[in-house]
Amino acid sequence: MRFSVRLADADESFSCTEQQHLLQGMQAFRIGVPLLQVIPVGCRGGGCGICRIRILSGEYEARKMSRKHVSEQEQADGVALACRIYPRSDLAIELLPLAEDDNKQK
Amino acid sequence: MRKGVIRPGHVQIRVLDIEEAVVHYRDRLGLIEVGRDAQGRAYLKGWTEVDRFSVVLREAEEPGMDFMGFKVLDAAVLEQRKLDLQRYGCQVEVIPAGELDGCGERIRFDSPTGHYFELYAEKEQTGKWGVSENNPEAWPEDLKGMRANRFDHCLLYGDDIDGTSELLQKVLGFQLSEQVVDRENGNLRVAAFLACSMKAHDIALVRHPEKGKFHHASFYLDTWGDVLRAADLISMHDIALDIGPTRHGLTHGQTVYFFDPSGNRNEVFTGGDYTYPDHQVITWDASQLGKAIFYHDRQLNEKFLNVVT
């Protein structure tokens, strides 16, 4: 299955299969479709927090990601790292900055 | 002046999924898995390392580095360095023997960049893996993946790198081998490479607003051909590549960077410079940072500079 991922804040979209995380979908080459570089790409392992987004609508599977960048409450509210999100329907997302508490925790 | 600190001995890395991480470090990097402990931590080592383990993986909610440990010559040195660290003003904690399987008493201390370091004198010495101490063959035949020789160093990110450098130099006898200095910003030091041996570095520090961050753990390979072969394996197994294969200006090592499944960065490298105690510090200008980091591309890379766990 191939789903559409729409960036609500940039009015752009890319497609992503259910086996791809969102960054793989964004970076996949398709003839005639320009590559989008709208979500920052970092470690791609749920660790660095660079690709932090909010999912505004749609169904998805979330794999384990660093609690430093996405708290349990935030995750319940749709915050996620794009490299750990596998779509299960069309999605609408927005970009988020790195977690604001990055420096407060220390 | 050296103070009996002989080498990087271990690093404990936090991972999101222990089984995924073990597959990566054992089957891709080619470290030898030597055991698990009651807490579920996995212990591994490079095949040339004589001590029982050098890499400890701990499953946690946030990836990153728990601590990096250095081996000292003997128990008397350990006791003296403990007193020196206390006198210097570090928070020093004594971790009893056996807390890490096969490791003796550890002296853990904090640092101005927020990283935790350890010293220890004793660790079960099991010898090089797969070769004898008597008339040894060149290498064991049944190594996996990149066939990493040894855990070599870490690069850590934090705010007060001058403070941590001074601690390592004054109390533990490290030597500043290379540095990057911003001449347009009051000669601010933005990176420090330090050695306790005659390697180009045993630890490196880069200035970064947040304390306690982990940039990478690095593992040594034999040849440039092995670095290219490691890059082949990165593609074969769809491992997240960071940068390379290329050469660094700093230390002149030949390298490739990639990420473990939890987003911790790894390096495998070969070659590079050496450091004798009479060597002057090598200085790179921050204006040449692109070339200092990536000697061929000479381009700064945002991801390499800013992505840390």
Task: Summarize the confidence of residues B25-36 as an average pLDDT.
Answer: 98
A54: closest CA among A12, A85, A28? A85
pLDDT per position as a tens digit, A30-50: 888 888 888 999 999 999 999
CA A51 to CA B268: how far, in whole Å?
A: 25
What is the three-state SS of chain B? CCCCEEEEEEEEEEECCHHHHHHHHHHHCCCEEEEECCCCCEEEECCCCCECCCEEEEECCCCEEEEEEEEECCHHHHHHHHHHHHHHCCCEEEECCCCCCCECCEEEECCCCCCCEEEECCECECCCCCCCCCCCCCCCCCCCCCCCCEEEEEEEEECCHHHHHHHHHHCCCCEEEEEEEECCCCCEEEEEEEECCCECCCEEEEECCCCCEEEEEEEECCCHHHHHHHHHHHHHCCCCEEEEEEECCHHHCEEEEEECCCCCEEEEEECCCECCCCCCCEEEEHHHHHHHHCCCCCCCCHHHHHCCC
Is B88 noted as a catalytic residue in this protein? no
pLDDT per position as a tens digit, A7-22: 988 888 999 999 999 9
- List the catalytic residue out of B24, B115, B153, B215: B153
Q: Does B307 touch chain A (CB under 8 A)?
A: yes
Q: How far is A57 from chain B (nearest CA, A)?
A: 26
C-alpha distances out from residue A89 to A19, A21, A58, B63, B309, Å: 12, 13, 6, 29, 30
pLDDT band per the 50, 70, 90 thresholds, residue A88? very high
Q: Does B261 touch chain A (CB under 8 A)?
A: yes
Mutation site, A21, A37, A44, A98, interface B, largest B CB count within 10 A: A44
B309 CB neighbours in chain A (<8 A) are 43, 47-48, 66
User: In this structure, what token pair is assigned to residue B34?
Assistant: 């030597």
CA of residue B263 relative to chain centroid, distance: 16
CA trace torsion B246, B250, B253, B255 (10° rounding): -40
Please return the burial class of B199, using the count of CB atoms within 10 Å of its CB with bins 0-12, 13-18 and 19+.
buried
User: In this structure, what token pair is assigned to residue B181?
Assistant: 């200095």
Res A100: pLDDT: 53
Q: The pTM is what? A: 0.95
CA B246 to CA B256: how far, in whole Å?
A: 7
A106 CB neighbours in chain B (<8 A) are 114, 210-212
Res B18: pLDDT: 98
The mean predicted confidence, pLDDT, of chain A is 90
Res A105: pLDDT: 40
Is B208 noted as a catalytic residue in this protein? no
B59 CB neighbours in chain A (<8 A) are none
Q: Does B69 touch chain A (CB under 8 A)?
A: no
Considering only the beta carbons, identify the residue of A45, A65, A103 that sits closest to B240. Answer: A45
B51: closest CA among B110, B18, B16, B11? B11
Is B279 noted as a catalytic residue in this protein? no
B160 CB neighbours in chain A (<8 A) are none
pLDDT band per the 50, 70, 90 thresholds, residue A106? very low
A67: closest CA among A82, A81, A86? A81
pLDDT band per the 50, 70, 90 thresholds, residue A104? very low
pLDDT per position as a tens digit, B99-136: 999 999 999 999 999 999 999 999 999 999 999 999 99
Is B115 noted as a catalytic residue in this protein? no
